[in-house]
Structure 1
Amino acid sequence: MQFHSLLSVFSLAVSRGCFAAAAEVLKHLKERFPPNTQHAQLWMLCDQKIQFDRAMNDGKYHLADSLVTGITALNGIEGVYRKAVVLQAQNQMSEAHKLLQKLLTYCQKLKNTEMVISVLLSVAELYWRSSSPTIAMPVLLQALALSKEYRLQYLASETVLNLAFAQLILGIPEQALTLLHMAIEPILADGAILDKGRAMFLVAKCQVASAASYDPPKKAEALESAIENLNEAKNYFAKVDCKERIRDVVYFQARLYHTLGKTQERNRCAMLFRQLHQELPSHGVPLINHL
């Protein structure tokens, strides 16, 4: 995998709270690309990003905010983006939106396409967190068009997952499944392992949501299929030692096994969930409505 692709996988792992996976990718980057003057500053920025997102994941927003200054000194654009992330987490949606819009305009002038797409994805997330998923759709379609135009496959995969997730939130899981089935082949063939796991996890969520209106036999069949896809997602997350995501998967599996009346399997998943939940920092339990 090339330098920029590895760096993108690192950024995605960090943003999704998969710190063990991010640290492993960063270690691989440092081994392949020695810390000369240029890379030394980049590795410092990567370390700062891990600290920032770990603080965000732990709900320590004041600590994350204090790290923004150091990130900004290393990369001004990245610093502004992280400031918007803190504001969003603090439910200062209006301030976050203003900052993201300014950053978007600036990055469009610089033709920094990767950051433009990242900002668009953050704006879309802001909309659905503000209970406006319909407004998020055109923003995501713009991000998808850009990622395809510039052949940024990893960002295209991320955008497709966000589009499907928005459709799930809008209560149209069948359409989300159709989109995923159309797009999942390139994700599974060429996507990052983390993306593969998230895609299969999202497929399972959509299957469960779609099954709500099925008759009992068909519903049971759909839930069994969802469990199989969750097993596949769990295998992908295990490859990058992403315990945070494995915890989410086994929590969801325990609920499905309970619905199906499979007590032994439910208890096994519940026990694994408890072990991971005690080991990892967490604020609340995982939700189905979480990408």
Structure 2
Amino acid sequence: MSTTKKTVVADYLRDALARGAYRPGERLPGEEELAEELDVSRATARLGMRILQDEGRIAIQVGRGAFVANHRPITHLAEPVAADGDSGSLESGYSSRLRQAGHGDVDERVRVSLDTMRPRVAKRLVNGPEQQSPNAGLVVIRASEHLVDGGLWQTQITYFPFSIANNTALMTPEHLAGGIAGTLRALGFHEEWNRDLVGARMPSQEEADAFGLGPGTPLLVQERVSYEGQRPLRFTETFMPANRHQLLYTGGDAPENLPVVDTDLSIFEH
């Protein structure tokens, strides 16, 4: 059962998936069939299939066989199209697209806390007035869990300088009708620009359990700092299972009712 042989099995399956020979959710050939087709042992075929499972390409179900991972991502607006929009809002961000995809139960659970500002957060938020504030070391944390059909779909954690969020609606664990952006505007703060950092990493075991992720599925992490001039107003981290989300960025004078959002375009299509 050499590494070379199990890699041959994995490469064979990857090629079949890339050609679209098997559709999402479709059952793949079993160990015995693969072993005969590729002239390897069943044990080697099993090891090759596990490589694809670890990559998140297939799902192996005990007693049923292996199936092509059914990735059906929902398009997430990585930035607001309208000037006064809020891409991070569940209601205005993408709940309608979730319902169009057949998900009926979409909800949000919010927790708010006050904590000392950790170095990585301070690196993004402490600038200008906050450096001189007597409460510069404090941060208001607004953590939001987006639930779809009872399961965790996405988490979002927003950090505010204490001088901005103290004694405001941002400190209440309630749904914000205008979203965070609208609430900041009502307080007299205007998000003039932002910078994003997007990457992917494997989830911790705790995160995998919370999201219900199988082996090989990474998390997309979108980090955003929004500014008024040179002053940071908030730092937001959004954590999204990569098989459920795809980020849409727009450029130029994009229409407010962006047509492409309502299509079934997917980065997983062949």
Q: TM-score range by the shorter chain?
A: under 0.3
Alignment TM-score, normalising by the size of structure 2: 0.25
Query: Which has the larger share of strand?
Result: 2
Query: Which has the larger share of helix?
Result: 1
Asked which structure has the greater CA Rg, the reply is 2
